[in-house]
Structure 1
Amino acid sequence: MSGSGTGGDSPLRRALAGLVRAAEPPAGAVVQFVERVGAVDAWAAVRDRSAPAAVRAATRARLADLDPSALDARADADLDTGAAVGARIVGAGDAEWPTAAFVAFPLAAARGVSGAAAPVGLWLRGLPLTGVPDRAVTMVGSRACTGYGRRVAGEISAAVAAAGAVVVSGAAFGVDTAAHQAALLGGGRTVAVLACGIDRAYPAANARLLEEIAAAGTVVSEYPPGGVPARHRFLVRNRLIAALAAGTVVVEAGRRSGTLSTAAAAGQLGRLVMAVPGPVTSALSVGCHLLLADRFAQLVTDGAGVLTAIGIAAADPVPPIGVGRDPRHPTDGLDPEVARVHEALPARRSVPAADLVVESALPGATVVAALAVLELAGLAERDGPLWRRADRHAR
């Protein structure tokens, strides 16, 4: 498939936009039809209601009573909406299409894995999807993660980014946010896969983070512009998060966590699954322990172990950050670098971690890890994507 054309005047881009809106993922019948006849001819057949029965069944609800010209106009409107936020649409055969990552889908489908279908097309903001899956690591975990989970996710992601690899996650709160932030602050690349339209920020509090990812990495969606987030879309989206990396690391997950669906998808796609152990008393580590007990996942505890597991050489490690506090003087026992980050936190307002990098003059990965230490010590608090000082007795 040619990669030429970027707007409503391109039959290929119009076809891809139309097909993405017409079919709810995963749409295996539509993908197979596109593979046989190409996106332009497939779109013509879909809008004219002359496609094979399986394709008509997958697209009927979205076509409603719209005639072909109205369907083309709707596709053009999506292209305009995407362009307004700096997004472009790509499909199989384009130079930006992650062919190596998506080869796993037909192989899994041949083994009888349900829902193992590549996207019909992808909306992208930011850099091309290079380095996936071989030089990429997926980081997933609980939205309501503990300070321990946030610290581990940040430290592993910082190590992955420092090694020149890509950090893939879903831009949710908790582990996802920590992973993206650590990669960005370390000057690395990160990919956020959305369960909504490319023009939406979800969660809304991560709007700034998504802008930062689009500037230094890639934001990805297989849903049309305006698409709303929904539970089933998060579960479907998880197969892409797993496919785009050589291995998936589960940092924290409860017994019934949706994060485990990403681990399952990774296993089904032939990707390495890794899990970080946690306290046996923590409900948020039960899912990780079950993965390890079932030998479904390989145990990892740091970035070097993750990189070794997927065959990437680690860069120089980030210096360890420790805390040995005197409970009578909470800040006195802080490691010097942690203390510098604490001093950089304003007393009466919240700031992004990037501001703390500037104020403390420390590397981004060090700041992210230090914030996790301060949170565990009760000296820093998260305020959405921002941070604030939590103690009331600071100098």
Structure 2
Amino acid sequence: MSDQALSADTEAVLLLCGRFGGERQEPFPPLSTREYGTLAKWLNLRGLRPADLMTEAGREHLADLHEAKLEPQRLEFLLGRGTAMALALERWSRGGIWIISRGDSEFPKRLKHHLKHGAPPLLYGAGDRTLLDRGGLAIIGSRNASDGALELTREVAAQCAREGLGVVSGGARGVDAAAMQGATEAGSYAIGVLASDLLKASVNRQNRLGLQEGRLVLVSPFYPESGFNVGNAMGRNKHIYTLSDRALVIDSDLGRGGTWEGALEDLRQQWVPLYVRTPGDGSGNAALIEKGGMAFDFSVGGGETLTEFFNRSPSGFERPAEPEVQRAIELPETDETAVAGAPDSLPPSGGERHQESLPAVAAPAVDSTTLPDSAPTSGASLATPSMDASKPPLDMYQDFLSKLTQALERETLTEDQVAKQLGLEKAQARTWLKKAVDSKRAEKLTRPVRYSLRKQSSLFG
């Protein structure tokens, strides 16, 4: 694909999650980000990788898949779309489009750190993909910004260039375009996160020079030929924030619009420090500051650098450390708590979090597509070296039985209570509880539904 062939895992993920243009006539839709996250955890529990599903032996495991909406027939159909994928790849390659998945070493570490299972399964892009890990200042604002706002945007972007900082923006007209133009014209780099029309943007004459010179990278989690829709425009906001080190809102409407919603999400999630132009033209600027944003009253050419301004800001944020190169632990999507023993913020570059102290059953599932940079991505190695594809599921189930015995000796428990007490996802708890009942090692009671030890027996009797 473009300058690099797809890895075996990425090919499988593209078949499962990608869109190729004819989905309206097909019986099954591609997997959503959430559905793929569920499948990735299921694969990991069995010591499998996405590429395994391309083999006959790997597909035999699908008979054990009991997740809602992930019926084997649907996955078999999606994995059989090779012809449609080949035709789409041919179209995209002419525009220089490349594709990476969460298992590839080039996948941005910031996205995996901040979004965990919410990180997109696939990223489509054009340009130098190594820019995606360099961070920068996200500059965000209205498509219909005033001339004054656009001029300030270009000045701030040019100041970023003078200080060796990159710019991250959304690639739309208005503030986005002014930010990217100001950065690239001043000799810096820019990251454009697009909600639509990546293929068109990649061949646009205005972008070609920056792409060819390695100063611009365009990226999107969406189908490269998709047209504009509001849902995608709102959905890409989190990728703009999480690819950056800091964010600056030039102007925002009050209570509506993508700029407002994206800024609120960043304030809630605390991905990166949020600055808001003060005073600004937007009716929502002051409200964003009241909600936790920081005043951006920086004067370009006033004798102070942007770096100095950010360092003296009252936010308490220090310059963000580079995301660590590690096999990231990805929490279940309903669990917003930190991994046990992990710091609240990113450690210094090269730091690692250790998971040896986590009990086998209570440990959150690791996405099988989240790998260290040194992990192979070719089809030659379908499981990580530490995995034995036959043993971990059995070992974990036996550990589950042991812990379930201890829990049920005290009281009967519902499925939700078992999942919570043992640190499991509900789907996994349901699967193992059914297995325990079928093997007569536990008893399912009704009215209400709950589980207990079998009478006059034990789980191992």
Q: How does 1:43-62 map to 2 (within 5 A)?
A: 52-54=66-68, 56=70
Q: How does 1:312-327 map to 2 (within 5 A)?
A: none
More divergent stretch after superposition (182-191 vs 25-34): 25-34
Query: Which residue pairs with 1:83 in the alignment?
Result: 93
Query: Which residue pairs with 1:126 in the alignment?
Result: 127
Alignment check: 8 A CA contact 1:145 1:174 kept? yes
Query: Which residue pairs with 2:174 in the alignment?
Result: 174
Aligned to 1:286, the other structure's residue is in SS state coil
- 1:276 matched to 2:277? The reply is yes
Alignment check: 8 A CA contact 1:26 1:118 kept? no
Query: Which residue pairs with 2:103 in the alignment?
Result: 93
Distance of 1:21 and 1:67 partners within structure 2: 9
Distance of 2:162 and 2:111 partners within structure 1: 22
Query: Which residue pairs with 1:251 in the alignment?
Result: 250
Distance of 1:211 and 1:235 partners within structure 2: 26
More divergent stretch after superposition (147-156 vs 38-47): 38-47
Alignment partner of 1:300 out of 296, 301, 306 = 296
After superposition, the C-alpha distances for 1:339-393 in whole angstroms (9 at most, x for unaligned) are xxxxxxxxxxxxxxxxxxxxxxxxxxxxxxxxxxxxxxxxxxxxxxxxxxxxxxx
Q: Closer, same or farther in 2 for the Cα pair 1:47/1:66, shift >3 Å?
A: farther
AA partner of residue 166 (structure 1): G
* Count of aligned pairs: 287
Alignment check: 8 A CA contact 1:154 1:178 kept? yes
Query: Which residue pairs with 1:214 in the alignment?
Result: 211
Cα deviation for residue 38 of structure 1 reads 2.6
Distance of 1:307 and 1:176 partners within structure 2: 24
Alignment check: 8 A CA contact 2:35 2:70 kept? no
After superposition, the C-alpha distances for 1:86-132 in whole angstroms (9 at most, x for unaligned) are 111112232321113421113xxxxxxxxx70010111211124363
Cα deviation for residue 42 of structure 1 reads 5.5
- 1:15 matched to 2:25? The reply is no
Q: How does 1:1-395 map to 2 (within 5 A)?
A: 6-7=4-5, 11-21=8-18, 27-34=33-40, 36=44, 37-41=48-52, 52-54=66-68, 56=70, 68-69=79-80, 71-106=81-116, 117-130=118-131, 132=133, 135-201=135-201, 207-215=204-212, 216-255=215-254, 256-267=256-267, 268-278=269-279, 282=281, 285-294=282-291, 296-302=292-298, 304-305=305-306, 308-309=309-310
Alignment check: 8 A CA contact 1:242 1:265 kept? no
Alignment check: 8 A CA contact 2:124 2:221 kept? yes
Distance of 2:197 and 2:13 partners within structure 1: 15
Q: Closer, same or farther in 2 for the Cα pair 1:85/1:147, shift >3 Å?
A: same
Aligned to 1:125, the other structure's residue is in SS state strand
Q: Closer, same or farther in 2 for the Cα pair 1:218/1:131, shift >3 Å?
A: closer
Distance of 2:54 and 2:288 partners within structure 1: 42
Q: Closer, same or farther in 2 for the Cα pair 1:312/1:40, shift >3 Å?
A: same
Q: Closer, same or farther in 2 for the Cα pair 1:120/1:287, shift >3 Å?
A: same
Alignment check: 8 A CA contact 1:242 1:248 kept? yes
Distance of 1:132 and 1:307 partners within structure 2: 23
Normalised to the residue count of structure 2, the TM-score between the two structures is: 0.55
AA partner of residue 16 (structure 2): L
Cα deviation for residue 16 of structure 1 reads 3.1
Cα deviation for residue 287 of structure 1 reads 1.4
Q: Closer, same or farther in 2 for the Cα pair 1:6/1:17, shift >3 Å?
A: farther
Alignment check: 8 A CA contact 2:16 2:31 kept? no
Alignment check: 8 A CA contact 2:108 2:132 kept? no
AA partner of residue 56 (structure 1): L
Q: Closer, same or farther in 2 for the Cα pair 1:229/1:287, shift >3 Å?
A: same
Aligned to 2:115, the other structure's residue is in SS state helix
Q: Closer, same or farther in 2 for the Cα pair 1:52/1:183, shift >3 Å?
A: farther
Q: Closer, same or farther in 2 for the Cα pair 1:212/1:301, shift >3 Å?
A: farther
Query: Which residue pairs with 2:448 in the alignment?
Result: none
AA partner of residue 228 (structure 2): P
Distance of 1:81 and 1:307 partners within structure 2: 46
Aligned to 1:200, the other structure's residue is in SS state helix
Aligned to 1:53, the other structure's residue is in SS state coil
Q: Percent identity?
A: 20
Alignment check: 8 A CA contact 1:292 1:299 kept? yes
Alignment check: 8 A CA contact 2:171 2:180 kept? yes
Q: Closer, same or farther in 2 for the Cα pair 1:181/1:18, shift >3 Å?
A: same
Normalised to the residue count of structure 1, the TM-score between the two structures is: 0.63
After superposition, the C-alpha distances for 1:187-241 in whole angstroms (9 at most, x for unaligned) are 1100111112531339xxx933333443321010112232222110001111111
Alignment check: 8 A CA contact 2:160 2:306 kept? no
Query: Which residue pairs with 1:389 in the alignment?
Result: none
Aligned to 1:242, the other structure's residue is in SS state helix
Distance of 1:155 and 1:49 partners within structure 2: 55
Cα deviation for residue 290 of structure 1 reads 0.9
Alignment check: 8 A CA contact 2:140 2:169 kept? yes
Unaligned runs of 5+ in 1: 107-115, 314-395
Unaligned runs of 5+ in 2: 20-28, 312-317, 321-461
Q: Closer, same or farther in 2 for the Cα pair 1:237/1:131, shift >3 Å?
A: closer
Distance of 1:47 and 1:177 partners within structure 2: 49
Distance of 2:248 and 2:278 partners within structure 1: 11
Distance of 1:95 and 1:66 partners within structure 2: 28
